[in-house]
Amino acid sequence: MSDRLPDGSEPAAKRRKVRKGTRSCWECRRRKIKCHFGSQDDVICIGCKQRGTICRSQEFDDDNAPEPGQKSDPPLARRLDRLEQMMERIVDRIVPDEMAAASGPVSSQTDHARRSLSPSSHDMPIPGRREASVDVLETSATSEGPIAALLAMRHEPSHRRGASEPGHMPTPAMTVAGSSTPSFPPSATTQGVVSRPPTRTGAQLLPPLNQNYWVCTSVRGAFPPQLAIKAIVSASPGASYAAAMCYSDAQRLAGKAEAAASLVYIPIGNVHALLLAKRALQILICIQQLPPSFDWEALAVGAPMKETMSRLLNAATLVTSNDELMGYAEGIECLILQATYQANCGNLRRAWVTVRRALGLAQMMGLDKNRLGAFRSCDPKANPVHRTSAPVLWLKVVSWDRSLSLLLGLSAGSQGNQYGSDEAAKSDTAMDRLEKAHSAISARISERNDNHQQDPTRHPSIYALTQDIDLELEAASSTMPLGWWDCPRTGLLTSQTSLWEATARSMAQIHHFTLVMLLHVPYMLRDLASPRYDYSKTSCVAAARDLLTRFASFRAHNTSAYSCRRVDYAGLIASMTLCLAYLSKRRTESWEKSRVQEDSELVEMARRRMDHVAHVNGDRLSREAVGIIGQLTPIIDKAIVSLEKSPQAPIPTEIRDMRFDVPCLGTVNIQIAGSLSSSATDRHGHRRHPSSATGAFEKMALSHAPHIPGPPEPFKSPLDAGFLEVVPYNEQLPFGVEEVGFSSQFDFMAGAEDWALQGVDAAYWSLFEGSL
């Protein structure tokens, strides 16, 4: 039976018996709403006019049979009806508030977008067309009505509209209604002032209503204006690093890596959310590594730098925290970029957790077993030549995990050192081979430390493992070309590419020297009378000197605290190691006054560099590192004093002892001979002596063994009888004493602003516990 026609005419049809006075349609009855007519002469109710649906009176059968050749899909129609009702409620709740603040053309455009979808007197349904089967996802259905109104709402971030207009940045906790309003690239005038783009309508406004669209919309809204992005990328030393981070050195030299200049382009069109998140994280790293002298206000972004960085990070987290979107190679790249940003912020523990997610995702793809069936890209249109390979991506993830785990005193998350086929490894450069060697050595050092903590009685086998690892380090260093180990002179370079290459070389050298120190420092002060461990101390001191030289050179031209953050932790470890090396002499060791003074000047230069970075950036890590180094430098000063005195000179009386409260470890007491101060007593004020250590009192005595007949021993300075002890915290205070800011509610995931050292100090001091 045919429908009522728009002009009111109705073909003959079999009438049903209805209650007298009843005048309602089937559509309103199905929706369980009251059916209203504008006048007694109207044949289409107001609700059906607004919805654009068939208005069939209940006097006639509800014949919704499909036309010939069509398939019936009542569930789809019901779902679309519910979607439309939901959109209406959202618009009624949100749009009036937005409209109240709007004015001018934007307000009129939004009013037009909110107009009902109902046909007017001059826009009636075409006779014979089944209006009940209209698809609300079609352009004609979404150009007006509640869906169009929702999509046309004014919801742009404040940094796109200007500082005077309201706006907010969607966060992962926001609902779909609050975070899914589309944003479009801004247009700029010739003066560089960002203007609001016109509201799109019709086919331009139509998006795919899926999860990827809403996330993409939020990420797009977090980007700074295009002109600002260009200025950031051109001024940031981290642009080349952010673009080539997930590529090998061989791929970069072959031109496969993404160019730094490409970071200014934001993916357009219907792209996967991972591509936008990757670009957001790359720009975030560029902003993070801008020099402190960069004039952010000149960009006219409309928001402070920290707020812009927070928006980019929150937007990228919308993607990286959604497991449904992460099953691609770009998902692993995004996690690597996010971990790099967190590590440069000083949030090493958050970076470690992010890297572990990347490690798990890579293992599920089969990258650890070189099974590449599940390794795919979310951008099939991209040029395959410029994609990174699965073995390289696996190497990057594993290297990050092992270096962070070693620095934090945690266990490595993967085993094995296979990164692709042997044929593919033939194209590796010297830098690629060194990176693979460092990854394997980091895992072995972590394994050695774990073995000692589990069973300290296995000292002979553990030391044999240490010697074997040292041979690997020597073999890795010997593969580098002649002159590669010279200290890079980055201050004379002007090209961003050359600067990045020199920085990458400095980072590799610093990482190598850090591995040498962490390998040998447990034996640096062990059994001073025996020559067995003399090599360990010599290696530690030489590595510390080389590292501090490169640290000072790097920080001389790069004063951004958030650029290559790992060098600051390495510089602190090297300074501590070089100071502790002068706590006591080994039996066969001799000190030269000139050499000791040079080491003192080297440590002081590193301390001044850190102090400058702390002053320029307000950096808490550098400030705390300056304090720790300042506490340890008197050890070297006392060594210099001892060399200036004769063997019959009295012991200096102004010697000062040191105490460090290390969260998650305990109290570290360092006592120099001839002194009885606070560090020679426990936390209750009771006097301690090196020979009184028992139970939880883990001690390393630095005094010499009993005298052995033989040639006269060299002069012993007063420092030779010093000692170092580590007093672990008890079960009542597992994280430290509350007086220094650590309580039973200690947050293991605290950021650098609350926990600057992130446990790096605990991992370092723990190497001196027990037999180590």
Residue 705 has pLDDT above 90, yes or no: no
pLDDT at 257: 92
Outline where DSSP puts E strands in 147-231: 187-188, 194-195
Summarize pLDDT for 267-279 with one digit per residue, the tens. Answer: 988 899 999 999 9
Let me know if 677 is exposed, middle or buried by CB neighbors in 10 A (0-12, 13-18, 19+).
middle
Instruction: Find all residues with CB under 8 Å of 648, minimum gap 6, and list them.
Output: none
| Separation between Cα atoms, residue 348 and residue 726, nearest integer Å | 24
Tokens of 36: 């209203």
First-residue to last-residue Cα distance in the chain: 93
Residue scoring higher pLDDT (390 or 381): 390
Q: Are 62 and 26 in contact (CB under 8 A)?
A: yes
Q: Are 150 and 206 in contact (CB under 8 A)?
A: no
Let me know if 199 is exposed, middle or buried by CB neighbors in 10 A (0-12, 13-18, 19+).
buried
Average pLDDT, whole number, for the chain? Answer: 76
| Least confident segment among 38-47, 375-384, 445-454, 607-616 | 38-47
pLDDT at 73: 55
Instruction: Find all residues with CB under 8 Å of 285, minimum gap 6, and list them.
Output: 238, 241, 242, 337, 340, 341, 344
Summarize pLDDT for 533-576 with one digit per residue, the tens. Answer: 999 999 999 999 999 999 999 998 888 888 889 999 999 999 99
Band (639; pLDDT cuts 50, 70, 90)? confident
Residue 133 has pLDDT above 70, yes or no: no
- E strand or H helix that includes residue 317: helix 305-320
Q: Read off φ and ψ for residue 436, nearest 5 degrees.
A: -65, -40
Mean per-residue pLDDT, 133-151: 42
pLDDT at 449: 93
pLDDT at 395: 96
Q: Which of 8-17, 328-337, 672-681, 754-763 has the highest mean pLDDT?
A: 328-337
Nearest to 530 by CA among 673, 716, 705: 705
